[in-house]
């Protein structure tokens, strides 16, 4: 009897965790951050298995090139555009029109997305022999045929991920972040399954089918929660709904901006396909590695704060809007600046630990680490762009990020053309870094023109403290890394791991120490929280803390 009761209690606890609302910005950021960490760790394993199985050669070049066109379709129609339009409108419906009309809107959007993406994916799959070859002019005929074959399989994924994006928008709007955050983990597990289980028998086609299986898991895990929340009826597709029309209007500028961005990525791929074999793979592998901290820190905070920013706009509380934005930037800066320094210091070790197996040799490692070093210079800018773009979306302004995005993509292409001839793949990475930095600066200027002062003075000191402490991290970590390299030549995984671990530990100690000496508010708050959690003592002290709302 007790076993049945305990099982019921456990079931309700799990259900509440899985479907319950996540309160507060920090709690939401933690949930998203932890899930993002899990996703990125699994993504790292995915890339390790891919690199170890195929190496940075013509096969992996074909795989990443095949990914580009389906990914273009998904990004163009769904990823940023739909969320930019759907979340503010759905949130407004929940607040002003009630859940019934909000769920009707959600059902209409699901049916419209299903019809639109189904038709587009079918057309693109049929037209793949025409669409794909111009994106890989440097590939051999055999490589091109393989790329077309893989693209056709992977055109199933944008349809599934499109539906998943609607489910994710609903979950974000209702602050249900658990299933939304864990969906990418399942997606990457699908690709790993394709690599380890299907690829030995079906080659790269098995990996492509793994992508499709991952997309099925991605949509399923979110759809289960959304159905439990209230989405149980999907009507026939219709473009006459007022809410659907508003979402489409908000999507339009973002779609144009994404179109420019995707064309830019295709141009990068065209350039990379004409460089030495493996350049497409190395560019993508380095990009995936640098996306790890951006996703873990920048995207986590940006996604978590988006509903709060939208709520502030709906309540016309712009003072709270600016305060929330400023506090989020401080948290991001405190974390991403030392991560950038540490990652830059240990980039060869990071590449070797993550990708150095099987067919991925030391030459591939060094080439990837060099590209990664250029990407790392833009980590803070990438985090700011993710946040500031959502600030405009919260105001239902998708035009300003569009105009700025177009300008920055032009900058990217110009710098890439110049750098490509002189520095090859490093020039392409530099173009990305420069364009992203310009993007962050222009978004900030545009937001400042809208609100006036954003409290920049309050941001200067914490950012400066983080930079100084990060310089101490490199100052302490670099000689230790070099010394350990003379004792333990980097010949085995364990030696590389040991060198990286000791360097990271001592470098981070230096960062924390200098931050504490400079009285960084973030580090003081962190130490205070740890002290309360780990060293609770007398009951009267706890009562005093509670009396002050701590």
φ, ψ of residue 68 to 5 degrees: the values are -65, -45
Nearest alpha carbon to residue 389 among 261, 287, 285: 261
pLDDT of residue 345: 93
CA dist list (Å): 200 to 64, 143, 152, 195, 430: 19, 19, 20, 8, 37
Name the CA dihedral angle for 535, 540, 544, 549, rounded to a multiple of 10 degrees.
70
Q: What's the rounded Cα separation, in Å, for the pair 43 and 48?
A: 8
Nearest alpha carbon to residue 188 among 196, 124, 13: 196
Burial zone of 238 (CB within 10 Å; 0-12 exposed, 13-18 middle, 19+ buried): exposed
Q: What's the rounded Cα separation, in Å, for the pair 312 and 393?
A: 12
Q: Which residues, given as ranges, of the chain have pLDDT below 70?
A: 1-33, 36, 56, 75-84, 253-262, 357-358, 489-491, 525-550
Tokens representing residue 248 in the block: 């489409």
Burial 251-269 (b: 16+ CB within 10 A, else e): bbbbbbbbbbbbebbbbbb
Three-class SS of residue 536?
A: coil
Nearest alpha carbon to residue 294 among 339, 348, 344: 339
CA dist list (Å): 222 to 137, 171, 225: 39, 8, 5
Q: What's the rounded Cα separation, in Å, for the pair 78 and 74?
A: 5
CB 477 within 8 A of CB 531: no
CB 428 within 8 A of CB 419: yes
pLDDT of residue 372: 93
CA dist list (Å): 295 to 163, 192, 310, 332, 481: 22, 20, 21, 11, 27
Q: Work out the number of other CB atoms within 10 angstroms of the CB of residue 505.
A: 12
User: pLDDT per residue over 14-50, tens digit each?
Assistant: 555 555 565 555 566 666 667 767 777 888 788 888 8
Who contacts 477 (Cβ-Cβ below 8 Å, separation ≥6)? 342, 345, 346, 503, 504, 506, 507, 510
Who contacts 283 (Cβ-Cβ below 8 Å, separation ≥6)? 268, 272, 371, 425, 428, 429
């Amino acid at each position: 009897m007790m076993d049945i009761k305990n099982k019921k209690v456990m079931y309700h606890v799990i259900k509440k965790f899985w479907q319950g609302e996540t309160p507060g910005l920090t709690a939401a950021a933690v949930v998203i951050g932890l899930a993002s960490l899990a996703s990125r760790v699994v993504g790292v394993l995915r890339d390790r298995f891919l690199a170890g199985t195929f190496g940075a050669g013509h096969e992996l070049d074909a795989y990443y090139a095949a990914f580009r066109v389906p990914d273009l379709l998904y990004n163009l129609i769904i990823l940023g555009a739909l969320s930019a339009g759907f979340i503010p409108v759905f949130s407004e419906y929940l607040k002003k029109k009630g859940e019934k009309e909000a769920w009707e809107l959600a059902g209409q959007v699901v049916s419209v997305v299903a019809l639109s993406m189904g038709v587009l994916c079918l057309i693109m799959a049929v037209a793949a022999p025409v669409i794909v070859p111009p994106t890989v002019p440097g590939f051999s005929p055999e490589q091109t045929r393989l790329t077309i074959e893989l693209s056709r399989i992977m055109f199933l994924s944008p349809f599934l991920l499109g539906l998943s994006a609607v489910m994710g928008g609903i979950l974000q709007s209702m602050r249900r972040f658990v299933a939304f955050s864990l969906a990418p983990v399942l997606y990457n597990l699908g690709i790993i399954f394709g690599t380890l289980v299907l690829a030995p028998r079906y080659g790269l086609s098995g990996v492509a089918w793994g992508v499709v299986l991952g997309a099925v898991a991605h949509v399923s895990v979110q759809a289960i929660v959304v159905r439990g929340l209230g989405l149980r009826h999907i009507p026939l597709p219709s473009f006459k709904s007022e809410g659907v029309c508003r979402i489409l209007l908000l999507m339009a500028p973002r779609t144009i901006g994404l179109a420019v961005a995707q064309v830019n990525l295709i141009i990068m791929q065209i350039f990379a396909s004409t460089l030495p074999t493996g350049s497409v793979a190395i560019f993508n592998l380095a990009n995936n590695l640098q996306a790890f901290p951006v996703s873990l820190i920048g995207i986590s905070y940006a996604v978590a704060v988006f509903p709060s920013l939208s709520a502030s706009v709906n309540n016309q509380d712009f003072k709270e809007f600016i305060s929330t934005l400023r506090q989020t930037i401080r948290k991001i800066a405190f974390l991403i600046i030392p991560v950038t320094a540490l990652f830059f210091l240990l980039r060869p070790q990071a590449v070797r630990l993550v990708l150095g197996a099987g067919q991925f040799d030391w030459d591939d490692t060094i080439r990837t680490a060099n590209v990664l070093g250029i990407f790392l210079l833009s980590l803070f800018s990438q985090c700011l762009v993710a946040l500031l773009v959502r600030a405009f979306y919260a105001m239902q302004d998708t035009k300003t990020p569009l105009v700025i995005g177009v300008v920055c993509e032009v900058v990217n292409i110009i710098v890439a053309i110049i750098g490509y001839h002189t520095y090859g793949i490093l020039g392409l990475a530099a173009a990305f870094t420069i364009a992203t930095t310009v993007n962050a600066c222009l978004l900030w200027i545009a937001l400042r023109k809208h609100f006036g002062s954003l409290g920049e003075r309050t941001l200067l000191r914490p950012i400066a403290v983080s930079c100084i402490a990060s310089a101490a991290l490199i100052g302490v970590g670099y000689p230790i890394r070099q010394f350990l390299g003379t004792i333990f030549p980097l010949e085995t995984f364990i030696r590389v791991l040991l060198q990286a671990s000791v360097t990271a530990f001592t470098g981070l100690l230096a960062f924390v120490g200098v931050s504490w000496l400079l009285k960084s508010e973030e580090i003081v708050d962190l130490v205070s929280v740890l002290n309360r959690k780990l060293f609770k003592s007398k009951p009267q002290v706890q009562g005093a803390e509670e009396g002050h709302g701590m």
